[in-house]
Homo-oligomer: A and B are copies of this chain.
Amino acid sequence: MRTPAVRFRVDFGRHEAVGPGKIALLEHIAASGSLSQAARELKMSYRRAWQLLESLNGSFSERVAVTSKGGRGGGGAALTPLGTELVSQYRAFDRDVQSRAARYFQELAAKSRARSTAGAAPVRRLSER
């Protein structure tokens, strides 16, 4: 039986949604020390990564990451304490949510077509909303 997975984003306000894409960007910035490197690792354009980071920086009263320009290697990027806190709380919440979903939906998951039981009848699958 497959464990149900929850996909989510947290809305801090009308234009302040934080989901897996932004969190992954922050994690890759923290690990690589570089926005362009983070973008490459996530297979997104530098422009897209920059937009996501600007959106995050505009969502809070303090910045979540700072970037420094130029020099050899094209400048660096690092998370602020607020950015580190955001990633940490998001990931802790994520673990909590997934673990609680496993309990809430255990019986329903057992009746899901996605369970790996041999011989389950094939079923037409329509696109998800």
Contact = CB atoms under 8 A, between A and B. Distances in A.
A63 to B, nearest CB: 11
A2 to B, nearest CB: 6
A60 to B, nearest CB: 5
Contacts of A4: 10-12
Nearest to A125: B15
Total copies of this chain within the assembly = 2
Interface in A28-65: 51-52, 54-55, 58-62
Interface in A99-125: 100-101, 104-105, 107-109, 111-115, 120, 123-125
A126 B47 CA distance: 12
Interface of A: 2, 4-17, 19, 21-22, 51-52, 54-55, 58-62, 82, 85-86, 89, 92-93, 96-97, 100-101, 104-105, 107-109, 111-115, 120, 123-129
